[in-house]
Structure 1
């Protein structure tokens, strides 16, 4: 046995709710008996208790409640000879109300604990109210009617079985509160086998075979702010049909650099000045017809006269040129 937590108050009629993933029980600690004293609580495997609130029935108290089990979303508790059905569905209009009460047959009304048979949904416990050995008792939680009772020789009588669970195979495990000064656990499947014993306990309870590990309790995250979706991307523009281009247009022509300008080296010969006036044309000598040899003195005098005229003309031309310059 491993101690998980210690509570400051008693919790009775424990059952296990697979829908809520927690143990379910009743307590009146801290509540006034005349103002809905019985509260339904949830307990996890670490001993953390969540108070769901009071049972909606002013007359209901936990003084005589001694057994409990959960079938679906209904919490069944035995109050003396009566069986109360409490709705623990948070979505129901009858949440935490007693929706049904039935009277139990003998010896179901003596059971100090019962468990749900997973195969049938019926409730089963162990009674030791008779004079002989203990009996395995099964009843219908809806009507309270007895379905079967089987005496098991190996189960001690004249004692109480305060904790009963049933596994998935239908095997019953029952704990006797005190037999010969010891609390004893039995496995019952046709016959009973004692599994272990320990110090005698005054008050015990059981709540079914819990899953291992128990599902964690996680608060739902806060809703995220609504973020508008991004706008859809614009439709791509239609691609024009490719146009065949001449090869010369696709291949760039090589750029031919202009030929370098070669400056001729300066000549060592000084350039001749250009004459302002063009040179006169060279006078060709006049070609006279051949004459016969001069035979008279008149002919010589004519020659000298001609020479004199030419010289006079040349002198006048030179003087005119000097005047113009």
Structure 2
């Protein structure tokens, strides 16, 4: 009765757990987990999907297994396989791979080579520590593959059951780091219980009178912070919300024991293909109306006159002066300067001589010829005068 009178307090504690971690992701709360169902000398491995329960059989395991825990960082689940002469063996599981036997669990002290774990009932992993429950002892096993104490029991604590005893058949690690499960109590009423992994203290959180007296395994805390459990003998699969509301999801065949671990690490979806390049934008051509330009009558341009040939300046025009009776001796011929050889220049000289320059040269030659004639006439007259004397 003392446990029932404190129901409001333990329900409040369960609600505080949910509030401490904040709301779960609302976009996608799908949780996949591995489940082991045992009915005989071997166990069957299943993959289940929550919150809407769906299961897929993966295959048969070579041994009876229990105490399943999942490491999201490693992507591996660990379980204890029974039936070995040297105690329970650590088995590593993945849905797509065969189970790996990693060897027996090793006692933590050098003076105790015996294996302290043979028939566990519950297991869960937080970080690199695997918490395994057998009888009334909670053992912490190292599951760091790079550690020198891999598979070693690092510590053990005895349970302190308050308001119990409780028959704990499985648990999972809550967001607050404590262990939660559904256990059968001495009064026959199941309850959600909380186990402190450091001190071993076990106490009820919320009573579940709607559940049948049974052993409850396959505990998984989903992404919605709800507790999912399976009744081993009756086969019912249930969801327990943080407020203690109970809902039956499915029913599976009964079994002697079961265990589960999750949520499995999700494989990121493949990248969507890159969108095709946008087609080039086609701009319709702009139609410009034709402009009417008034036609202008063609202007008649008179043809350019042909260039006139300049008079030759090589010889002077003949003079009409009469020849003297006795012409004097002709003057000494004057050497004409030799022609300067042409030099090349960037621009070729024009072959046509300017008409004005050509005329100016002819007039000068005529004056020189007239002056020469006057000198000759004057010289002749002077010579005749001297002859008369």
- Same-fold call, TM cutoff 0.5: yes
CA contact (8 A) 1:127 1:137 kept: yes
- What is the CA distance between 1:84 and its match in structure 2? 0.5
Residue 205 of structure 2: aligned partner = 149
Which of 149, 166, 175 aligns to 1:94? It is: 149
Shift of 1:7: 1.5
- TM-score normalized with structure 1 length: 0.59
Distance 1:202 1:101 in 2: 27
Who is 2:236 aligned against?
184
Cα root mean square deviation, aligned: 2.1
Q: List per-residue Cα deviations over 1:80-113 (Å, max 9, x = no partner).
A: 0000000111222322211100011224762110
Q: CA deviation at 1:145?
A: 1.5
Residue of structure 2 equivalent to 1:32 = 85
Instruction: Give the aligned partner of residue 26 of structure 2.
Output: none
3-state SS of 2:181 partner: strand
Deviation digits for residues 220-251 of structure 1 (CA, Å, limit 9, x no counterpart): xxxxxxxxxxxxxxxxxxxxxxxxxxxxxxxx
> Quick one: which of 216, 219, 222 aligns to 1:167?
222
1:108 touches 1:138 (CA, 8 Å); kept in 2? no
Q: 5+ unaligned residues in a row in structure 2: which ranges? A: 1-54, 108-112, 270-389
Residue of 171, 188, 196 corresponding to 1:114? 171
Partner Cα distance (1:104, 1:10) in 2: 25
Post-superposition Cα deviations, 1:110-143, rounded to whole Å, max 9, x if no partner, equal: 21100111x2111100011332421000111122
Partners of 2:165 and 2:196 in 1: CA distance? 10
Q: Is 2:88–2:119's contact at 8 Å kept on the other side of the alignment?
A: no
Residue of structure 2 equivalent to 1:52: 102
Distance verdict in 2 for CA 1:100–1:135, change over 3 Å: same
> For the residues of structure 2 that align with 1:87 and 1:148, how far apart are their CA atoms?
28
Q: Which residue of 2 aligns with 1:200?
A: 254
Which residue in the other structure is 2:72 paired with?
18
Are the counterparts in 2 of residues 112 and 161 from structure 1 also a CA contact under 8 Å?
Answer: yes
Contact 1:154 1:191 in 2 (8 A): no
Aligned partners of 1:4 and 1:47 also within 8 Å:
no
TM-score (norm 2): 0.50
Per-residue CA distance 1:148-188 (angstroms, 9 max, x = gap): 4310222222x100211101231001111123xxx001110
Q: Provide the aligned length of Structure 1 versus Structure 2.
A: 206
Q: Stretches of 4+ moved more than 6 A in 1?
A: none
2:184 matched to 1:128?
yes
| Contact 2:143–2:151 (8 Å) recurs in 1 | yes
Between structure 1 and structure 2, the one with the greater Rg is 1
